[in-house]
């Protein structure tokens, strides 16, 4: 209705879709695939009495299996894919800019937060060519599941139901955007929140705390530390810098920890040396902070940035509207953030371009980042909307 048209975060249209998931799981003709966003594993445990900051990745995978999903996959896989495309796009724009091409727009803006995307479509129609055209991980996952993976299973896309578990209310709206479907069949059929998943687990009488730790399935369940940090403010841009820096210099990074990009300040900037170049990076979380940053760029009052990450929620997705309630306690957000960086630090692979299943996906199916097939499946465009 009217609210759906004007509310950038989707908070006014919170709808529980868990019954639709249960219906899909009960349908013997459907193959039901689930993906879970990076921030979910850092907060779901709070619904089952764990201390904030407890990672429940393994128990979550086990619970999803008990609930009956046919393939338990991870949005993190698609976050690695997002980095492949977004970091390539960034390097491409940066190289052309350094060569004096004045048609290139910098800074590149991240585009994986749908509330932020809707915000700039309404508020900054003159800047629609500035954000990265890379789809969000949720939507990249859906597009790949219903093409590459459906082909592997030898089933038509209509037979597959893609469910996403998100920290977010705006992801429900994103999944329903017209450009993310093929002949009326959506890439992501149903998006539920962390809280809705917790309700489903309770309704199914699953003793969450007693579950064993299990792994995600392959191939769309394998991910790197770079993907995990998507859940926290500053994480997307840090993940992009890890790949872009190695590609630009041709040398392995001495350290993948770009700690200057981390933190909880609402609006921050950092200088990151990459070879002979110093990247100037901006980060904002909360749409008020985003507006401040964008207005200062528009008016030219700040030193130009090369790249900016914007997330609508405080702390990034770990503080999202679909997460267990944190009642504004930043202490809880901080604990979830620490959990995310802990998971990253413990991963054997911490750079998206080194994910072996991502490499395989490009070799077998996509070709190369920004190639024709990637362009078709993994990139999108933005629309001018009425100001609100
Ligand atoms: Fe959703 Fe908030 Fe994350 Fe944006 S920052 S994708 S609105 S949870």
Q: How far apart are CA 376 and CA 319, in angstroms?
A: 32
Task: State residue 167 phi and psi, 5-degree precision.
Answer: -80, 15
Q: From the CA of 115, give the closest atom in ligand 1.
A: 7
Dist CA 95 CA 207 (whole Å): 53
From ligand 1's centre to the CA of 94, what distance in Å? Answer: 27
In angstroms, the CA 269 to CA 180 distance is 33
Give the number of other CB atoms < 10 A from CB of residue 336.
Answer: 29
Tokens at 308, concatenated: 């900016």
- How much distance in Å is there from the Cα of 85 to the middle of ligand 1? 20
**CATH code of the region 2-378:** 3.40.50.1780
Q: Which residues in the chain show pLDDT less than 50?
A: 1-6, 388
For residue 174, indicate whether it is catalytic: yes
Q: What is the 3-state secondary structure (H, E, C) of 122-179?
A: HHCHHHCCCECCECCHHHHHHHHHHHHHHHHHCCCHHHEEEEEEECCCHHHHHHCCHH
Residue nearest to atom 4 of ligand 1 (CA): 113
Is 317 annotated as catalytic?
yes
Task: State the ipTM, two decimals.
Answer: 0.99
H-run or E-run covering 338: helix 330-346
* 183 Cα to the center of ligand 1, angstroms: 27
CA of 29 to the centre of ligand 1 (A): 33
SS3 for 242-265 is HHHHHHHHCCCCCCCCCHHHCCCC
Q: Which atom of ligand 1 is nearest to the CA of 9?
A: 7
**Rounded CA gap, 360 and 91, in Å?**
22
Catalytic residue list contains 354: no
Query: Can you give the pLDDT at residue 15?
Result: 84
Active-site residue (options: 46, 47, 85, 86): 86
Q: How much is the pLDDT for 13?
A: 56
Smallest CA-to-CA distance from 378 within 136, 89, 76, 75 is with: 136
- Probe ligand 1: pick from 115, 116, 174, 233, max atoms within 8 Å of CB? 115
Smallest CA-to-CA distance from 61 within 231, 174, 220 is with 220
For residue 232, the CA-to-ligand 1 centroid distance in Å is 10
Exactly one of 132, 136, 191, 223 is catalytic; name it.
Answer: 132
Three-state DSSP class for residue 200: helix
Pairing of strands 71-74, 31-36: parallel
Decide if 163 contacts 192 (C-beta within 8 A): yes
The ligand 1 atom at the shortest distance from the C-alpha of residue 169 is 1
Q: How many CB atoms lie within 10 A of CB 13?
A: 15
Compute the C-alpha angle 260/264/270, nearest 5°: 25
46, 85, 174, 222: the active-site residue: 174
Point out the catalytic residue in the list 111, 317, 343, 352.
Answer: 317
The pTM score is 0.95
Give the residue carrying structure tokens 């599941």: 145
The reply to whether 112 belongs to the active site is yes
Please indicate whether residue 359 is annotated as part of the active site.
no
Which of 313, 321, 326, 336 has most ligand 1 atoms within 8 Å of CB, for mutation? 313
Q: Which of 184, 91, 98, 172 is nearest to 136 (CA)?
A: 172
Residue 328: predicted pLDDT: 83
Rounded to the nearest angstrom, the distance between the alpha carbon of 73 and the centre of ligand 1 is 20
User: Measuring from each residue's beta carbon to the nearest atom of ligand 1, which residues come in under 6 Å?
Assistant: 9, 113-115, 167-168, 170-171, 311-313, 316-317, 320
Q: Give 384: exposed, middle or buried? Use CB within 10 Å, 0-12, 13-18, 19+.
A: exposed
Q: Six-digit token pair at 125? A: 């129609």
In this structure, what DSSP letter does residue 191 have?
A: E
Active-site residue (options: 171, 172, 335, 351): 171
Q: Which ligand 1 atom sits closest to the C-alpha of 320?
A: 8
């Amino acid at each position: 209705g009217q609210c759906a048209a004007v509310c950038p975060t989707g908070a006014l249209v919170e709808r529980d879709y868990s019954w639709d998931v249960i219906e899909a799981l009960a349908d013997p003709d459907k193959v039901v695939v689930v993906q879970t966003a990076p921030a979910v594993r850092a907060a779901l445990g709070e619904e089952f009495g764990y201390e904030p900051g407890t990672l429940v990745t393994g128990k979550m995978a086990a619970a999803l299996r008990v609930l009956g999903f046919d393939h338990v996959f991870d949005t993190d896989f698609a976050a690695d894919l997002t980095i492949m495309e977004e970091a390539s796009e960034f390097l491409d724009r940066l190289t052309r800019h350094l060569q004096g091409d004045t048609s290139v727009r910098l800074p590149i803006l991240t585009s994986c937060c749908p509330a932020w995307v809707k915000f700039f479509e309404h508020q900054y129609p003159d800047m629609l060519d500035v954000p990265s055209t890379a789809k969000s991980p949720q939507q990249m996952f859906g597009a790949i599941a219903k093409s590459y993976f459906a082909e592997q299973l030898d089933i038509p896309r209509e037979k597959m139901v893609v469910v996403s578990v998100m920290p977010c209310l705006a992801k429900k709206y994103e999944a329903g955007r017209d450009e993310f479907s093929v002949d009326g069949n959506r890439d992501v059929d149903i998006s539920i929140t962390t809280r809705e998943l917790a309700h489903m687990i309770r309704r199914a009488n699953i003793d969450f705390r007693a579950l064993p730790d299990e792994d995600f399935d392959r191939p769309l369940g394998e991910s790197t530390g770079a993907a995990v940090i998507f859940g926290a403010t500053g994480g997307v841009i840090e993940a992009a810098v890890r790949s872009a820096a190695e590609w630009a210099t041709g040398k392995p990074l001495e350290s993948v920890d770009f700690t200057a990009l981390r933190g909880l300040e609402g609006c921050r900037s950092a200088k990151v040396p990459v070879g002979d170049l110093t990247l100037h990076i901006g980060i904002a979380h909360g749409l008020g902070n985003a507006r401040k940053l964008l207005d200062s760029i528009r008016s030219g009052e700040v030193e130009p940035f090369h790249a900016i990450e914007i997330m609508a929620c405080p702390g990034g997705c770990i503080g999202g509207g679909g997460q267990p309630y944190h009642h504004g306690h930043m202490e809880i957000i901080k604990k979830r953030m620490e959990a995310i960086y802990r998971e990253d630090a413990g991963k054997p692979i911490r750079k998206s371009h080194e994910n072996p299943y991502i490499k395989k996906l490009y070799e077998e199916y996509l070709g190369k980042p920004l190639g024709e097939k990637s362009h078709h499946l993994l990139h999108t465009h933005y629309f001018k909307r009425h100001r609100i």
